[in-house]
Amino acid sequence: MTGELSPQAAPSEQGFEGALRPATLSEFVGQSKVRRQLGLLLDAATMRQHTPDHILLAGPPGLGKTTLSMIVAAELDKPLHQTSGPAIQHAGDLAAVLSALTPGEVLFVDEIHRMARSAEEMLYLAMEDFKVDIMVGKGAGATSVPLELAPFTLVGATTRAGLLPNPLRDRFGFTAHLEFYSDDELADVVRRAAGLLDFSVSEQGVDEIARRSRGTPRIANRLLRRVRDYSLVHETPGDTASVHAALALYDVDEHGLDRLDREVLRAVVERFSGGPVGLSTLAVSVGEEAETIESVVEPFLVRAGLLTRTPRGRVATRLGWQHLGIVPAGPGAA
Ligand code: ATP
């Protein structure tokens, strides 16, 4: 999915993301349970002068996993080394990263579910005993040489916790499940970012941006920047009128649905009489990858009460029909 409502970061946004990232747990908005749990874990580790348990952060994109990994390192006052599952294609890639860690360093592995299987197995021993076995030589003469590692804290992030093998999942002492943010929490995210960007937005404008941000801080920050652009170019204040005009320009409707969400909903309602329709049929009918529909569009439409998932496929709800201004027809309307 591309566009204003994609929860994934565009490469051009990374500078902005860095500038808007909270640096401490107390600046981190929302997720109060995770914050308290993580706070206790880090405080106890600091008091014991010991590395904390390894931490798994699970949840959809854009909810703050990378930010939390940076906060963990900052709160422990240790350096952070960042890598990602797709960058670790061989056990040797992981051995190189692990052997370069300094005592207490925090290793962040984004998309940890996409790491190569051979590396995963090496990671088990590294997480448990801070050791790896390096294979030296080839064929019959190959021998395994144990290598001691500096104690480190692994922070793994995944959008698909279910894809992690159990032995890996079990080696994390603490798993944080990040939830979508409430509108009030997102309003706090927007207020904070507006302050950092030195852009003044009316309270109603803040609420409007929050409501359309699909429970995701990354989207809230992005919509705020579009409103800021609009105000700059049109010389308007950051009021509700500017928010409406800016977001209309980018096809973000009043419920935070964008073009693809509406196309998916419209396909279920109009082409499949409200459903049920299977994921792959639906994906083909809107010309989009099934994974995008499943991981980005569908969770949002389900949360918004516009679509339901049934064992026989996706079904538009009565609210879904109403959203498109179409009168529900027959038993298809759940
Ligand atoms: P991905 O899975 O795509 O890597 P992520 O879950 O790691 O996403 P982050 O990169 O940490 O998400 O956050 C995206 C943006 O949202 C950052 O710019 C960050 O400033 C902002 N953000 C995330 N969570 C919060 C929060 N709780 N409070 C304030 N800002 C937040």
Q: Tell me: the pLDDT tens digits for 58-101?
A: 998 899 999 999 999 999 999 999 999 999 999 999 999 999 99
Q: How far is it, in rounded angstroms, from Cα 92 to Cα 121?
A: 12
217 touches ligand 1 (CB under 6 Å) = yes
Mean pLDDT, residues 260-280 taken together: 95
Judged against a pLDDT cut of 70, whether residue 180 lies above it is answered with yes
Q: How far is it, in rounded angstroms, from Cα 269 to Cα 292?
A: 19
Residue 140 pLDDT level (bands cut at 50, 70, 90):
confident
Scan for tokens 């970012």, then name that residue: 193
Q: How far is it, in rounded angstroms, from Cα 300 to Cα 157?
A: 21
Mark whether 66 is an active-site residue: yes
Count CB-CB contacts under 10 A for residue 248.
Answer: 12
62 touches ligand 1 (CB under 6 Å) = yes
The active-site residue, picked from 78, 171, 214, 218, is 218
* Cα–Cα nearest to 333, from 278, 283, 270: 270
Determine the pLDDT at residue 104.
96
Mark whether 310 is an active-site residue: no
Categorise residue 202: left if φ over 0, alpha if ψ from -120 to 50, beta otherwise: beta
The active-site residue, picked from 21, 65, 171, 225, is 65
Structure tokens at 73: 């390192």
ipTM higher than threshold 0.90: yes
Q: Could you identify the atom of ligand 1 that is nearest to the CA of residue 13? A: 18
3-state secondary structure of 3: coil
Judged against a pLDDT cut of 80, whether residue 239 lies above it is answered with yes
DSSP 60: S
Mark whether 159 is an active-site residue: yes
Q: How far is it, in rounded angstroms, from Cα 110 to Cα 198?
A: 31
Determine the pLDDT at residue 327.
85
- 308 phi and psi angles, rounded to 5 deg: -125, 155
275 touches ligand 1 (CB under 6 Å) = no
Determine the pLDDT at residue 331.
56
Mean pLDDT, residues 278-299 taken together: 92
Mark whether 218 is an active-site residue: yes
Mark whether 216 is an active-site residue: no
Determine the pLDDT at residue 330.
60
